[in-house]
Structure 1
Amino acid sequence: MLMVYFLLSGGVTAGMLYAGACLGFIEVADSRMWLYLCLIIVLFAVVVGYMAGQRIQRRIDDLDLNMLQVAKGNLSVRMANSEDQSFARVYHEFNMMMDTVENKMQILQRLGEQEVIEKEQAAESAVLEERRRMARDLHDTVSQQLFAIHMSASSLPKVLERNEEQGQTVMNQLITMSQMAQKQMRALIAQLRPVELEGRNLFEALEKWFPDYCRQNGLKGMKELELQGELSEAIEHQLFLIIQEAMANIVKHAGACLVSLSLREGRRQVVLSISDDGQGFEHVQQKQGSYGLITMRERAEKLGGQVEIISRKGAGTTIRVHIPKFVQAAGNVEGNTKAITGAAAPEEEG
């Protein structure tokens, strides 16, 4: 556009000079000089227009590149100071906007972590209540079955002495009751299986869980973990649940043989990538609704992150999760979080 403007201005300048010569205001000894003069003016206009356009285009490209980084979840992007005053103000407004967005996203992440922790506490209370219920069930089912087995086994020798046929009936009852007690015990044990991440950090849990899960489901798994140990408990928990959901989707729907897991923790961002060589899907199918994908998105958004799904039919699927990290002092953010929570409390009570 600038080149067109400069070309038009050069053409107008050449036309005005030619008109001036025709009207006698300008005298030129050799008429061939007009051709050279017009070519020089047009060429100069094109060169200057191209240089001006490239200079502005570089500024716009820098802004566009940084906006793409922000769209990928990198909230630490800032624009360097520009000597061009036309863009200096735009860059300054962009930096101020990113400061505001990063601060608010940090607060939202803290609120999300607080929500996760509260849910974990509620879940622990539910687990304790469930264990009390299981203790009662043990007493009412397995314990009584064992008592009945003990009584029948104690009386069996005397019954065999008096009536062998009746003793065989008691023995069959013993076998049936023991099988029933075994089934009930297995069911209760299955309900008491511990959470995989409990008592371990994310790295330790994945080191054990991922190979076992792949082996149990006939998958060849490759993993690459680069964790610095600076993630909060809430973020680790959500990431682990996202990984579990993604792996469950692969086993149920992908028909894959190879799964690759990559988890990298940077200074300002955590990036999780899970890829498979399965059948993939088209984006139209994805929009129709997959509860697993929706759940993963919701978990990431609670922490200010986002989920990116790359899939093509017959070419596998890649799921990338970007979650921002913040290095600002936690005291200010916690104070803001408490202030927001405190301000919302009266309204909830009302």
Structure 2
Amino acid sequence: MPRMRWMWMVYFSYSNVIAIASAAALIVFFVLPADLTAWITPQLMIAVSLVTIAVSIVSGAISGLRFARNLRHRLEEISIGTRSLAYGNLQYRLPFTNDPELGDIAQAFNDMAERLESQVAALQKVTEENEKLIQQTKLAAISEERQRLARELHDAVSQQLFAISMMAATAAKIAVEKPEQCAKLVASISESASRAQSEMRALLLQLRPVTLEDQRLGEALTSLVAELERKQVINCDLEIDDVDLPKHIENQLYRIAQEGLSNVLRHAEASKARVTLSVSGDHSRLLFVIEDDGKGFREEELSKTTMGLKSIRERTELLGGTVKWVSIPDKGTRMEVRVPLFNN
């Protein structure tokens, strides 16, 4: 018999025994001859009645308290379980499936977690198979990447260079007659040249290898951060847990790092950046973070695909993970990528 139901029966049985014993004592007092019950005084009967009532109240209070405490503990376990699933711990299971009150809920929760774990594992397996196909179509991917970079180069840099040339021509014409206006044009030329330089550095950062080849993720990220610091006046810290990840996950995380750091170069105007990769103690999920102290952005700007956010979302979803951005204008931006891991 389940523990909680058995506990209730014990308390109720105990209370009933006390009540029956008290009733029997009263019957005996009134039925037996007076000479046999002379020792039973009214004061004694009152005392026995009060003790009986007190014991019944205490036993009922104890049973109610233990029931409420046990129920609260079960509800807290369910709450912890839902948060664990939300943060990628798909191995979490509720232990009280035989509980009479909440066992059905616990079993339904565990079934849902198992289905979710199976689906994400299947998704990662498909992603791993897709990685092999990607290797087979590597030349086509490189060609497409070159075309994309060429478009960005034209849209971002070529137009700025054209504007610089126009302003320079105008400045040359008015240099003698309108020196103040010429000075403003020269300042605009300097600003446009600086923006074009940042765009070029960001694009060059994306020209690194699409896959890691023989490198591990930690080595590739170290090299990527070093190149970032060479191309831009920015201090970038790197913290990586020593963990062996599947190749397809490392490749996707590397591309996410390229996109994220490219965004820092092109849009953040940051002086400091930080890249961290950590794995949970049970190796069931990883957290990849890129944060900076730049100008940040507003929530409505998240929908703009020009910031490279769409590509990061797609790569994260391929791994069965989630990504979110937390940004405060004039304070900085933090990107968090969470990916579940499986032993197989």
The two structures have a TM-score, normalised by structure 1, of 0.58
- Work out whether 1:269 is the aligned partner of 2:281: no
Does the CA-based 8 Å contact 1:113-1:303 persist in structure 2? no
Corresponding letter in the other structure for 2:328: R
Spell out the pairing of 1:185-334 with structure 2 (5 A cutoff).
195=209, 197-199=211-213, 200-232=215-247, 234-266=248-280, 267-282=283-298, 284-290=299-305, 291-328=307-344
Corresponding letter in the other structure for 1:281: F
Measured after TM superposition, the shift of residue 49 of structure 1 is: 4.9
Mapped to 2, the partners of 1:250 and 1:97 lie a distance apart of: 39
Measured after TM superposition, the shift of residue 238 of structure 1 is: 0.7
Within the candidate set 54, 66, 79, 2:69 is matched to 54
Mapped to 1, the partners of 2:145 and 2:79 lie a distance apart of: 54
- Work out whether 1:88 is the aligned partner of 2:103: yes
Within the candidate set 89, 93, 96, 1:78 is matched to 93
Alignment CA distance shift 1:288-1:300 (3 Å):
closer
SS in 2 for 1:222: strand
Query: Which ranges in structure 1 are unaligned for 5 or more consecutive residues?
Result: 1-28, 132-189, 329-350
Q: Deviations over 1:140-190 (max 9, x none)?
A: xxxxxxxxxxxxxxxxxxxxxxxxxxxxxxxxxxxxxxxxxxxxxxxxxx9
Aligned-pair identity in percent equals 26
Does the CA-based 8 Å contact 2:239-2:275 persist in structure 1? yes
SS in 1 for 2:323: strand
Alignment CA distance shift 1:97-1:39 (3 Å):
same
SS in 2 for 1:272: strand
SS in 2 for 1:307: strand
Does the CA-based 8 Å contact 1:196-1:205 persist in structure 2? no
Q: Deviations over 1:44-101 (max 9, x none)?
A: 8777655533321221111111111111122121222366322233222322221221
Equivalent residues, number = 249
* RMSD value, Cα: 4.0
Corresponding letter in the other structure for 1:106: A
Q: Deviations over 1:286-344 (max 9, x none)?
A: 4543452222111111111111222233332221111111114xxxxxxxxxxxxxxxx
Within the candidate set 119, 128, 143, 1:113 is matched to 128
Mapped to 2, the partners of 1:210 and 1:67 lie a distance apart of: 36
SS in 2 for 1:273: strand
* Greater Cα offset, 271-280 or 241-250: 271-280
Moved over 6 A (4+): 37-47, 128-131
Measured after TM superposition, the shift of residue 285 of structure 1 is: 2.2
Query: Which ranges in structure 2 are unaligned for 5 or more consecutive residues?
Result: 1-41, 147-203
